[in-house]
Chain A
Amino acid sequence: MGKLFFYVALALVLVSGVIFAPEHAALAIHPMDQFNVASLTGGAVGTFAITNVTLWLALAVVCVFLLMVVGSSRRAIVPGRAQSVAELTYGFIYKMVEDVAGKDGVKFFPYIMTLFMFILMANFLGLIPMSFTTTSHIAVTAILAGLVFLTVTIVGFVKNGAGFLGLFWVSSAPLALRPILAIIELISYFVRPVSHSIRLAGNVMAGHAVLKVFAGFAGALGLFSFLPIFAITAVYALEVLVAFIQAYVFTILTCVYLKDALHPSH
């Protein structure tokens, strides 16, 4: 039965490929157009203009609200589906903060939870066809990573004073090596926000661009468009995984950096 459906679906794809094939198959691929920022009201993109960025950021906020507030509104002792997911997310991030950053990192839990929920929701919303992916923009991820970098640096100096500089002075290494290691550590410290932000934006952007490229092939190949369509299906599944993993990676790296600020000794 399943096999029959598969062949019917395959035949439909082939027939539709024949029927809807463009008159003159042009390779019209614009993989980066999906990332364009455009004003929804028309006109220039000013600082306070309402754009597609505004729309999809607002949708991310709404999704967070729906899951975490509406989902947990029944306060049931035996949770329902939405409450289970909300509690699972809470427990997942709480345990991560506690395990990686330590007991005194727990007071940063709401902050880290904010980062995780935002990135997760933005990534998943970006997977809806025709949507706009806010986390594919360097401007957004750089702000997120910059916030983490600033927080970690300020917390490090407030908590440890000058002792925070011990993070760069590897006391377990031979004395002669320490200045060299200090320079390397210093560079790696300042590269952190760059890698932190570009990793997220790069992964999301690359996946979405690949989907668009395959979609362009599907439009151009006519009869054989089923091949890129299968590829799109596979890449989409991978992108769902990447959407979660990148949110997870961003969050756990934040916890690791926070641990450095709270306990700078190696």
Chain B
Amino acid sequence: MASNTQDAAHGAAEAAHGSAPGMPQLDFSTFGNQIFWLAIALVAIYLILSRVALPRIAAVLAERQGTITNDLAAAEDLKAKAVEAEDAYNKALADARAEAQRIAAETRAEIQVGLDEAIAKADEQIAAKTAESEKAIGEIKAGALESVKLVAADTAEALVTALGGKADEKAIATAVADRMKG
């Protein structure tokens, strides 16, 4: 009985296979074959994709992303460097200007000190010369007075003698001194 039904089923399948308008999709006798080869194909594609293709493409995409990021970072870096260089240049410029001003001020101060010194020295020299001159003038003045006194005494003595008097040296000296004072 069992073999009978099996035969019948087999016959029906054969009939479905042979007849033109039947649907080959419903021919169950080919299912085993299709499923067997499908399993192999799916496993093959899965292995190809998961072992080789997908990691490789992921790596390529990551590498590209990395390259782009690196390039952007490098550009950012260079830009920062340019700004830094500009700052350094400006700073150097300002430093140089300040240095120049400092040197000018220093030089001016130095010159001032030299000038002050020279003026002081000159003043001193002038003062010394003045003092010397005053002393000389004083000496000359004293010398002149003494000479006048002598001349006056001599003249007075000569006058007294010429007039026939007897010259008293002491009296003459006193008289001359009185006259000189007044």
Where the two chains meet, the residues of A that have a C-beta atom closer than 8 Å to any C-beta of B are: 30, 32-33, 35-37, 45-49, 51, 53-54, 57-58, 60-61, 64-65, 68-69, 72, 75-77, 79, 83, 86-87, 90-91, 109-111, 113-114, 117-118, 134, 136-140, 143, 201, 205
In the bound assembly, the distance between CA atoms of A49 and B34 in angstroms comes to 10
Question: By the criterion CB–CB under 8 Å, are A205 and B25 in contact?
Answer: yes
**Known contacts A87-B57, A90-B57, A205-B25; is-contact A51 B37 (Cβ 8 Å):** yes
The 4 A-B pairs of least Cβ separation, nearest first, read A68-B53, A110-B50, A47-B32, A37-B30
In the bound assembly, the distance between CA atoms of A139 and B37 in angstroms comes to 11
Show 20 residue pairs from A and B whose CB-CB distance is below 8 angstroms, ordered by the A residue.
A30-B20, A32-B24, A35-B23, A37-B27, A45-B29, A46-B33, A48-B33, A60-B45, A61-B48, A68-B53, A83-B60, A90-B54, A109-B54, A110-B46, A110-B54, A118-B42, A134-B34, A137-B34, A138-B25, A140-B34
Question: By the criterion CB–CB under 8 Å, are B48 and A140 in contact?
Answer: no
The minimal Cβ–Cβ distance linking A118 to chain B, given in whole angstroms, is 5
Q: Which of B29, B33, B59 has the most CB of A within 10 A?
A: B33
The reply on B162 being an interface residue by CB < 8 A is no
Name the contact of B21 in the complex, choosing from A32, A53, A64, A75 (C-beta under 8 A): A32
In the bound assembly, the distance between CA atoms of A198 and B177 in angstroms comes to 164
Name the contact of A54 in the complex, choosing from B22, B29, B37 (C-beta under 8 A): B37
CB-defined contacts of B33 to chain A, threshold 8 Å: 37, 45-49, 51, 53-54
**Known contacts A64-B49, A90-B54, A111-B46; is-contact A53 B25 (Cβ 8 Å):** no
Q: What's the tally of chain B residues with a CB closer than 8 Å to chain A? A: 41
Which residues of chain B from 49 to 80 have a CB within 8 Å of any chain A CB?
Answer: 49-50, 52-54, 56-61, 63-64, 67
Question: By the criterion CB–CB under 8 Å, are A114 and B46 in contact?
Answer: yes
The reply on B88 being an interface residue by CB < 8 A is no
Question: By the criterion CB–CB under 8 Å, are A64 and B45 in contact?
Answer: yes
In the bound assembly, the distance between CA atoms of A114 and B37 in angstroms comes to 15
CB-defined contacts of B64 to chain A, threshold 8 Å: 77
The reply on B44 being an interface residue by CB < 8 A is yes
The reply on B41 being an interface residue by CB < 8 A is yes
Question: By the criterion CB–CB under 8 Å, are A45 and B57 in contact?
Answer: no
The minimal Cβ–Cβ distance linking A10 to chain B, given in whole angstroms, is 34
In the bound assembly, the distance between CA atoms of A91 and B59 in angstroms comes to 13
